[in-house]
Structure formats: structure tokens, C-alpha cells
Amino acid sequence: MGYLQFSELKAGEGEEEFLADPDFTLQQYLYEIADAELAFKAKHQHYTYQLAELTSLPELPKDIEQVEIYPGPSLCFGATSSITGRRYYVNMEGKLWSVH
């Protein structure tokens, strides 16, 4: 995962400050949940809907709230940023989206 940042400056005519995404840690953590689900399924032949069962998952970062697993045909995961208040989701296809 990376970022593309546009600038009004012409190449070689100055530098533009990089604007870091305050929710990058949250987005990365949702992908880690998806990876942990894949590892769980490889071992148990099914997904889990309980975060506590994902033993390969790292500790929850402090700026993430309300982490949930949404079961269904398109298994996805959601979490809310305590920094920006935005809610992010990622599904097992690797698609990431957010809502305000």
C-alpha cells in the first residue's frame, strides 16, 4: 500500500511537504485482520467472527476503536479512527473504503 501525492510544482523546482495519512495505522491493521483470517482458515477450514480467535493478530493500536468482523458472502472488517472519526472497512479481496 502506498500513496500518490500531486503537486502544483514543476519537477525540480522545489519540494512539496508530504502529507501523511493520520489513519494509515488503522488501514494497515485492517489488512492484518484479513491476513489473520486467512491463516485461521488455513488451519481450521473456516473463518472466525471472533477477533479473540485470531491469535496471529498483533495488539490493537491505541488510535483504533470499534473493530468488528462482518460475516457474510463478502466477509469484511471495520474499525473507527479515534484520530479522525472516520470508519474504514476492508474486505477479503483487499478493497479498502471509508465513510464519515
Write down the pLDDT at residue 15.
87
- Which residues does residue 69 pair with via DSSP β-bridges, in sequence order? 77
> Which residues of the chain are modeled with pLDDT < 50?
none
The three cell numbers locating residue 18: 508530504
Separation of CA 13 from chain center: 35
Nearest to 80 by CA among 99, 70, 65: 65
Write down the pLDDT at residue 1.
64
